[in-house]
Structure 1
């Protein structure tokens, strides 16, 4: 919060509490990832904005961070393909020397129902949502400075079967949750925390087709939340920023519900 309780997004205030740190946000060009990248940038981190295919969107995110007084650069690499982690880190290394914050946000946000999903789609979902974060963290660990942070973006669906048609997607994120807990033990001796944040329904482009402009769908999404609202990227980004900060130093190995009480 800024002066007199005004939000930093309104005042343009930069906190600097992550000054001197470097962050990588996968899928940072749009939606929740962009919200996280911009928030970390406002907090003073130098942000690597990763994108899979939409370079223009990544450059827009970089420009927004720079306009707010921050520093950022874009790196492109498709995930879910052989050699993806190695190629992404090679691109990162061309711009930065070491890492402090890794946010595994990129993911495939939907899947076909159990009765119709193909083996190819199933494998693709796990390749992007589960395998890519695993190997990005494994190769990133040697770049991550002691006392660093890893935040994995999960989903509320990994803890509640409220949308059965998204079974494979939920499964891929459930595996990410297990990875989060185990990795916290592996990296804990270096003072590195590892946590997962789990959004619910968030107003992003990926949900635009069924949510925006559909009053009934919007009302249904609001009704799922104990707070009676549809989430925003900023709602998720602020929790990630807390975990990335010094204030979040004593939280690790946790799955954190940021669904607005949809699972209450």
Structure 2
């Protein structure tokens, strides 16, 4: 498996922990040069970089800020003269409480900024850069919520992830002739900070067909496969990673 990504540069957002960190580890194992983006957790990001050694470059940035999104992309591309693969993984499960005007507006704006507009802006930068490189790959982390909606407290999250899924499909359809490929992965419950104590809650585990919450490494392996361009005609597809908890 080593060498599958030799010579490729990959930007992974939200990579200081969870799915992002696991993705950095797997891509690095496969030979990629990885730009590890993080928001606030510098210690965790640096620990991952130190453990992996060479071929890892750290970039910090608050993706809620449009100027920061641009800077993150610019710094990532400057490291090795361009980016071959963009993995939009950064996101947060932000509530949008319906009973409070302020919380409702804040929840929708927060989800729009981080879970939809930030990856959209990075996709735009990637497409512009890929055009100069003869192609490239975008992989967006959506959610099963993009298909089925989320719970009553997270309506905006589900809507934002649904928008990200539609964006991915549009990119795949619109830019395939320029050798720009786009994929989505749609995890369910994953053993990350977002899941918290639910990852070990017996009541939750009882309802899962595999009896366990999805490990981040399972998602990372799918992302790494898509990043390798070994199945170009999968472009536009969404890969569900839910342990059969949600089956379309």
TM-score by length of 1: 0.86
After TM superposition, give the deviation of residue 162 of structure 1 in Å.
5.6
Structure 2: segments with no counterpart, 5+ residues: none
Corresponding position: 1:22 with 2:37: no
**Separation in 1 of the partners of 2:27 and 2:170?**
25
Residues in 1 aligned to 2:147 and 2:80: alpha-carbon distance in whole angstroms: 36
Offset, 1:205: 2.3
Q: Which consecutive segments of 4 or more residues in structure 1 shift more than 4 A?
A: none
Provide, for residues 138-186 of structure 1, a one-character-per-residue CA deviation record: whole Å limited to 9, x for no partner.
Answer: 1122323334211000001121246332211111100000100101122
Aligned length: 243
Q: Name 2:171's counterpart in structure 1.
A: 183
Alignment of 1:1-264 (within 5 A): 15-66=2-53, 71-116=55-100, 117-144=103-130, 145-161=133-149, 163-208=151-196, 210-211=197-198, 217=201, 219-264=202-247
Contact 2:149–2:159, Cα closer than 8 Å, also in 1? no
User: 2 CA distance for matches of 1:193 and 1:87?
Assistant: 23
**Is residue 32–residue 55 contact of structure 2 (8 Å, CA) maintained in 1?**
yes
Alpha-carbon distance in 1 for matches of 2:150, 2:124: 32
Name the Cα RMSD after superposition: 1.7
Gaps of 5+ in 1: 1-13
1:196-227 Cα offsets, whole Å, 9 max, x none, are: 1011111112322x325xx5x2x233234332
Distance change >3 Å, CA 92–CA 121, structure 1 → 2: same
Q: Is the 8 A contact 1:38 1:64 kept in 2?
A: no
TM-score, normalised to structure 2, is 0.91
